[in-house]
Amino acid sequence: MKHLAAIARPLLMLPLLLPSRSTAQAPSFAPTGSVAAVWDLEVAYWKYVQAGDVLSYLTLWHERFVGWPCLSAHPAAKDSIANWVRTIRDEHIHFTSDLTREGAADFGDIVIVYYRTPMLREYPDGRVAGRDTVWKFTHTWRRDGNRWQIIGGMCGLPVVHAF
């Protein structure tokens, strides 16, 4: 019996010595440095959209920006990128979003972020649009000195969820 106890005791200790599942999982998303700065600007981006603040929104975009906006048949440049924010402002649309960060890549003076968000629009007449649609975004940001600006981007086809 003592012999079995001598063998069993080390086996009982084995789970304590092996890494647990929780430590083997990927670490939680905690950006630092340039990536954190860009995520802060993405949050500001959506606050400007919600407020219909066209001027602040435009400060985020580089003069030579070209990207593919949601629902656009063709890529657009900075001169037309804020048209949808103007519509939110001018038509008094209550706009909400909820960013879910999907990833980021840091290349020094370039940071690319990937995320998704619903874009809920509540119109003054009571209509609501976008309730079950989540859009995918990619923005490429470039640092010029201490300033980050969007130089490229794309809004992906919506991921429709059946709730």
Give CATH for domain 32-160: 3.10.450.50
Percentage with pLDDT > 90 across the chain: 74
Q: Where are the domains of the chain?
A: 32-160
Tell me what the mean pLDDT of segment 14-42 comes to: 61
User: Does position 1 have pLDDT exceeding 90, yes or no?
Assistant: no
Tell me what the mean pLDDT of segment 37-60 comes to: 98
DSSP state of 124: T
Answer yes or no: are the C-beta atoms of 135 and 156 closer than 8 Å: yes
Tell me what the mean pLDDT of segment 20-47 comes to: 72
- Which pLDDT value is given to residue 66? 97
